[in-house]
Structure 1
Amino acid sequence: MTTAQPLSTDPFLPGPRVRVAGSATGPLAGLTFAVKDLIDVADSPTAGGNPDWPRVYPTPTRHAGVVQTLLDAGASAVGKTVTDEVSLGILGENAHDGTPLNPAAPDRVPGGSSSGSASAVAAGACDFALGTDTGGSVRVPASFCGLYGIRPTHGRIDFSGICVQAPSSDTCGWFARDAATFARVGEVLFGQVMPDRLPHTLLVAADALGFADAAVQEAMAPQIERLAALIGNRRDVTLAPQGLSVWQRAQRVLQSSEAWQTFEPWLDACNPRMAFSVARSLIQGSMMTDAERSAASLMRIEARARLARLLPPGTILCLPTTPFPAPLRGLPLGALHPLRERIACLTSHGGLTGVPQVNLPGAHVDGAPVGLSILGARGTDLDLIRLAVALEG
């Protein structure tokens, strides 16, 4: 049963604190989780980070599929969390609900759009939390808040009961502070036990590593060496021969076009209040041409072929999750757009190729976390999680 209690004072939990008890027994019994406010919890409004979204999105009468699976496995939901407006953001600042705290670096943003979920886990308010990732919305806050986070293989996690942005890129992932909890959740959501094997080949994306700030490259070096020592075979490769910015542009065209198609009926019906950056993104999506979409679709085919070639069985690829640690809170609007563009150059492969990606915490720059990511072929999500457990152990 869902219960709503008085308004929460937590910086990551908007509105009523939702509590739903999980089954008394199960592999996740005793664990608690929070839910991004794009994901349905029965009898609790899904606000989507915008005060006008509920006008066309009625209060759900059933849980999202992923929430029901976790409850059935024994985990209990303890709250809904702040999201960037209708998932259209990457830094975690929401003009309506405020910016959740980054407990790992309080003077910096938490990353978005799953900002509140990352904040809740990093603060210890719950054991794990659900987020969505279309263009980096789990990976980026995981990097900025020093957490384990996953963008699963596209289509592998049930997306029913979750607000859509761009269907060809939308995924549902989660955050955890430790690899053991991260893995327990993965085995439940994927319905499989982690494999015993580890990969035998490590690829380092030299172009992505070189794209990151010099301090990030230096901070990544010990983690990459640990990976290489564990796996035993390392070589450098180029992730995006056409250029990381070319892949970024293709993903932007496809994602923005789909987001416009998703939200146009809502805009027409409600003329909603929204932040300038969110409105600008939607306007840009509305202006994409058929020629741009056709070219971007071809680039998606090339990117998928590239990853399929780079990632045969037993091979993983690593790269910085973000090119820098979390920016400071409250930066001027004009300073934010270039930061978003740079981040997208290291996250666009997710939507383009659909491969799974796990953020590994551990590195820091000037005291702020920054993550290293590992990628595998489609369907190798649990192999990546198994490697994360091995590294932490």
Structure 2
Amino acid sequence: MEFAADAFLPGPRAFLPGAPGGPLAGLSFAAKDLFDVAGHRTGGGNPDWAATHPVPQAHAWAVERLLAAGANLAGKTITCEISLGILGFNPFHGTPPNPAAPGCLPGGSSSGSASAVAAGLCDLALGTDSGGSVRVPASLCGLYGLRPSLGRVSLEGVCRQAPSFDTVGWFARDAKTFGRAAEVLLGETLPQATASRVLAAEDAFALADAAVAEALAPAVSRLGALFGGATTISLAEPGELEIWGTQRNIVQRAEAWATFKDWIDAVNPRFGYSVARNLAVASMITAEQIELACVVRRRAVERARVLLEDGAILCMPTTPFTAPPVGLPLAELDRLAGRIGVLTSFAGLAGLPQLSLPLGMVAGKPVGLSIIGWRGSDARLAAIAQALQ
């Protein structure tokens, strides 16, 4: 696994000026290489995807939205192959560096977008999040990063993976800039920062490294102080978070196989080992497995409704650890990815917005605190982030 020269795709940059005088004038943004930019191939992190798909003639909705608001497109960024990765590496284009933790993985699959923002190469960057690919790099690279409510931001012109999980998110280094982009991409003015209750998921914190939980405790206290204190709760029954993680993985992998199987059959594309292995496993998931996983999913949705529908905010670690070093063996990478998936699955299963805030440091490396609300509370989460900064 080698580091790329930087976060952007090799070769000439896809640069486009934004419209003059818009609300994002003076800012620059990057787009993950799953977003269409007219006149430039959408590579999907895989050379055979790039070679077998036509050059788009129109921008993805989110790209067009930011350009129309005045932001300049600085280029397209490296992604894990066809968005199937959570730690950020790519065997074809290289692994984007993590400016916040040199020598460590950036998190993925929106790894290049997070890397570009963390390095100061742009002010904002678009990513996608199905299983955690905005939230995780936001945590590991010390950024603000949102997985929106399912369906809240248009996926038009974006390479899809798993339809009931796919979302368009974005990164910024500070809450003010993040909020400016939120108003453009969500199409609404940020409301007041409100929460009926602040809930701290003790079972989620127990799954994190002790140093991570300790580093995030002051941020939980600050969040609670804004809204009358934080209440400690158990998000799930004992062992249920792990079940949510395994069953979310089944549904998401099955959907990804359904998305890509015809292309794989027609092209027989090249893949890195871990992606090829995971697709092979996905191809063998049975209807009975999916049916059981959907039962588990309904339990997660109902738990989310009970906890959050009244305007409460749930907080938990975004990742259970800080950025791991590059060069780890595959077995260790699999173990780390599994630990991440236990924490990211709740919002994914329930279609909830989850915003990672760069509010913790462990041994000089960042780690994020997540705030999660009920569906549609995306703008309120961005407002809370501004109130905390």
TM-score category of the 2 structures, normalised to the smaller one: over 0.9
Report the Cα offset of residue 9 of structure 1. Answer: 5.3
Find out whether 1:388 has 2:385 as its counterpart.
Answer: yes
What is the 5 A alignment of 1:193-342?
A: 193-241=189-237, 243-342=240-339
What CA distance in whole angstroms lies between the structure 2 residues aligned with 1:34 and 1:225? 34
Equivalent residues in 2 for 1:74-93 (5 A)?
74-93=70-89
Aligned partner of 1:24: which letter?
P
Residue number in structure 1 paired with 2:108 = 112
Structure 1: runs of 5+ lacking an equivalent: 1-7
Q: How far apart in 2 are the matches of 1:272 and 1:256?
A: 18
Q: Please tell me whether the aligned partners of residues 219 and 365 of structure 1 are also in contact (alpha carbons under 8 angstroms).
A: yes
2:40 corresponding residue in structure 1: 44
Equivalent in 128, 144, 158 of residue 140 of structure 2: 144
Q: What is the TM-score of this pair, normalised by structure 2?
A: 0.97
Identify the residue that residue 4 of structure 1 maps to in structure 2.
none
Partner of residue 168, structure 1:
164
The residue number in structure 2 matching 1:370 is 367
**Distance in 1 of aligned mates of 2:281 and 2:249:** 10
**More displaced stretch, 12-21 vs 175-184:** 12-21
Matched, 1:21 2:26: no
Q: Which residue of 2 aligns with 1:5?
A: none
CA contact (8 A) 1:240 1:247 kept: no
Q: Evaluate the alpha carbon distance shift between residue 60 and residue 67 of structure 1 in structure 2; reply closer, same or farther with a 3 A threshold.
A: same
Amino acid at match of 1:289: T
What amino acid sits opposite 1:75 in the alignment?
A
RMSD of equivalent CA atoms? 1.1
Counterpart of 1:345? 342
Instruction: Name whichever of 239-248 and 122-131 sits farther off.
Output: 239-248
Amino acid at match of 2:245: Q
Amino acid at match of 2:208: A
Match of 2:184 among 182, 188, 192: 188
Q: How many residues align?
A: 385
The 1-side partners of 2:141 and 2:44 are apart by 22
Distance (Å, rounded) in 2 between the aligned partners of 1:212 and 1:106: 22
Shift of 1:113: 0.2
Alignment partner of 1:135 out of 122, 131, 151: 131
Deviation at 1:11, TM superposition (A): 4.1
Is the aligned partner of 1:57 residue 2:73? no
Classify the secondary structure of the residue corresponding to 1:142: helix
Q: Report SS of the residue matched to 2:337.
A: helix
TM-score by length of 1: 0.96
The SS at the match of 2:75 is strand
Structure-2 separation of matches of 1:350 and 1:131: 17
